[in-house]
Amino acid sequence: MEDWAKGHGLEPYRGRQIRHWMFKRLVSSFEKMTDLPKGLRKTLEQEVLINTLDILGTEVSRDGTKKYLFQTGDTHRIETVLIPERDHYTLCVSSQAGCAMNCRFCLTGRQGLKRDLKASEIIDQVIQVKRELDEPERMTNIVFMGMGEPLANYREVTRAIETLTEEDGMNFSHRKVTLSTCGIIRKIGELGLDVKVNLAVSLNAADEETRNFLMPVNRWNPLKELVEACRNFPLPNRRMITFEYVLVDGVNSGERDARNLARLLSGIRAKINLIPLNPYPGLDLSPPPMDRILRFREILVNRHYTALIRKSKGEDISAACGQLSGKADRDQAA
């Protein structure tokens, strides 16, 4: 923004003013930037987009989860999910339109990759949802767990994280921003050096064969090397890597799987989120019964892991983990 201002013969502080209006005041038009000269506001209106996405519709779940359907300027559709917690909101943002990873349990991957999102389109999801909240300060957490593989769009995602966490950007605490990856090994090492962010890894299996079945990415990012990259990830004191484990009946949810998982993660400061599979029409997999889920968790807890069973929110509006598709063919409340 400062470079833009200087390029137009203006003092750099004008760029900082514009950033403040956009990221702190969340204004929806340049006309509302009242401490800018009228001529500058007119130039901005002519040359700059204040929003890069259009909201096509929203859906609200019985549990209060709200899903936004956005459309990019070139008509690709993405979904963003606002999750109400006890004392704050978490926003689940998308980093790509579609996804190329094709995980067997994930609806997003079935449509393939349309394109990467720009950093501006990632940030705009946050701005537009926050703008709608009665108490925008309650949105404190950002998770890159929406559509797409964040590390496959590395440059734009890290640029977005920088703006989200910079003091003169959106000023989110880096302790409250989490990036979830299916395991792009070479980028995990770079991530820990380039930005401060919590790391979550979608693991879903404790052996190569099962992970190959569930996640094709494992064929060129093998489990053994992925876990080693996690061991080497620079963790601040008292932080842990979150390992996400989608439980699939008859595939990865047995007692032996739990014991193998405990051995695999030995020596890593790890928290394990157990996620019963969220089914969708056409999926030939199902979640295990609750007694097996509880037994799986018990084995991990007995081996001194923090293991949580994550209750999916927004399942009735297809907003739960693995259900995002960017489709507009469901009933929506505008």
Residues tagged active-site: 79, 321
| Chain centroid to CA 203 | 16
Torsion of CA 67, 71, 75, 79, to 10 degrees: -30
Q: What token pair was written down for 175?
A: 């302790």
Q: How far apart are CA 177 and CA 26, in angstroms?
A: 20
Would you say the C-alpha torsion 189, 113, 60, 51 has a positive or negative sign?
positive
DSSP 118: P
Q: How far apart are CA 77 and CA 54, in angstroms?
A: 10
Which residues have CB under 8 Å from 57's CB, separation 6+?
A: 68, 69, 328, 332, 333, 334
